[in-house]
């Protein structure tokens, strides 16, 4: 579970950097930029290691995992955020991804959690829900509500399935005796997400939505440090640790730990941006930490 805990930390930090880069570049270009940087860094790592170790079938599964998680999941999240707001979007996505990952792996790969592990996963999700629950619901038209919730559900589905497909990739790798290291696995996933992100940017340009995606004067220059920090803590180190965790631990145990990352983001945002959490955050954090610690003891 060490990989899951490191993922928790890196994903918490990268959310702050992602927010800064998206503010300066726009969400779609910022997402593509971080994946390009990550692909270059991770690709250099693979080359330094002497080339890819994964066989074609394992590489294909990891690439598909990136399409689902990085591509579909990330793109859908960016569509949910402006409609539902950050708190409600993260609440839906983080809580549901746990059940998609655990249920999907049980149904497809036959890896089932014990009753106690299900209960502790639920306890962790409850803590996340309490901590992220918005103080007021956004005032939206019914159609906007439905659209926002639908995108959040698609994001949860994509991210959960991405974790399950990674588990499938490692099952195939163990049978073949050719197991990619976490950096190579992260690189293959990033390549899958990169294709979707590039297609999304082309689609936005074709739809003439440049006004929402074009950086302000000087924004590109000021954004690159944040893009680099987002890439290193997210797709590079965060996803490498995530793949390390998934290589040996069921997704149903890894995902509840990772789902608590938004709660850890808040202290970093307080440090960098001066945002102060609401009182319910502390109650939710205590519950989530208890669930995570107890769940790790069962792994």
Q: What is the mean pLDDT of the chain?
A: 86
**pLDDT class for 134, splitting at 50, 70, 90?**
confident
The token duo for 58 is 């394992």
pLDDT digits (tens, 9 = 90+) for 46-105: 999 887 888 899 999 999 999 999 889 888 887 887 778 767 788 888 889 999 999 999
What pLDDT sits at residue 19? 77
Percent of the chain whose predicted confidence (pLDDT) is above 90: 52
Q: What is the pTM of this model?
A: 0.87
Which among 20-29, 206-215, 216-225 has the top mean pLDDT?
A: 20-29
d(CA 271, CA 294): 28
d(CA 160, CA 97): 5
pLDDT at 26 over 60: yes
Q: What is the DSSP string of 21-89?
A: HHHHH-HHHHHHHHHHHHHHHHHHHHHHTTS--S-HHHHHHHHHHHIIIIIIIHHHHHHHHHHH-HHHH
**Nearest Cα to Cα of residue 4 among 286, 191, 288, 240:** 240
What's CA 192's distance to the chain center, in Å? 14
Phi, psi of 251 (to 5 degrees): -60, -30
d(CA 105, CA 74): 21
Q: Is 178 exposed, middle or buried (0-12, 13-18, 19+ CB in 10 A)?
A: middle
What pLDDT sits at residue 133? 82
Look up residue 249 and give its DSSP letter.
Answer: S
Q: What is the mean predicted confidence (pLDDT) over 153-176?
A: 95
pLDDT at 113 over 60: yes
What pLDDT sits at residue 23? 78
**pLDDT class for 141, splitting at 50, 70, 90?**
confident
d(CA 8, CA 22): 21
What pLDDT sits at residue 138? 63
pLDDT at 199 over 70: yes
């Amino acid at each position: 579970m060490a990989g899951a805990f490191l993922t928790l930390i890196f994903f918490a930090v990268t959310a702050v950097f992602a927010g800064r880069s998206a503010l300066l570049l726009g969400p779609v270009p910022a997402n593509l930029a971080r994946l390009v940087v990550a692909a270059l860094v991770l690709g250099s790592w693979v080359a330094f290691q002497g080339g890819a170790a994964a066989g074609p079938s394992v590489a294909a599964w990891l690439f598909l995992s990136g399409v689902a998680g990085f591509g579909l999941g990330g793109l859908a999240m960016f569509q949910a955020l402006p409609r539902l707001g950050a708190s409600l979007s993260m609440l839906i996505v983080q809580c549901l991804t746990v059940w998609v990952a655990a249920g999907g792996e049980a149904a497809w790969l036959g890896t089932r959690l014990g009753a106690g592990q299900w209960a502790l996963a639920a306890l962790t999700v409850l803590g996340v829900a309490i901590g992220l629950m918005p103080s007021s619901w956004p005032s939206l038209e019914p159609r906007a509500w439905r659209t926002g919730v639908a995108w959040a559900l698609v994001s949860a589905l994509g991210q959960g399935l991405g974790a399950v497909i990674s588990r499938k990739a490692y099952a195939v790798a163990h049978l073949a005796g050719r197991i990619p290291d976490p950096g190579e696995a992260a690189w293959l996933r990033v390549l899958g997400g990169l294709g979707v992100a590039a297609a999304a940017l082309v689609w936005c340009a074709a739809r003439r939505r440049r006004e929402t995606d074009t950086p302000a004067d000087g924004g590109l220059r000021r954004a690159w440090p944040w893009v680099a920090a987002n890439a290193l803590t997210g797709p590079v180190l965060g996803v490498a640790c995530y793949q390390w965790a998934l290589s040996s631990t069921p997704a149903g145990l890894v995902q509840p730990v990772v789902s608590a990352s938004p709660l850890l983001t808040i202290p970093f945002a307080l440090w960098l941006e001066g945002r102060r959490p609401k009182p319910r955050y502390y109650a939710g954090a205590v519950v989530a930490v208890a669930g995570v610690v107890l769940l790790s003891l069962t792994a």
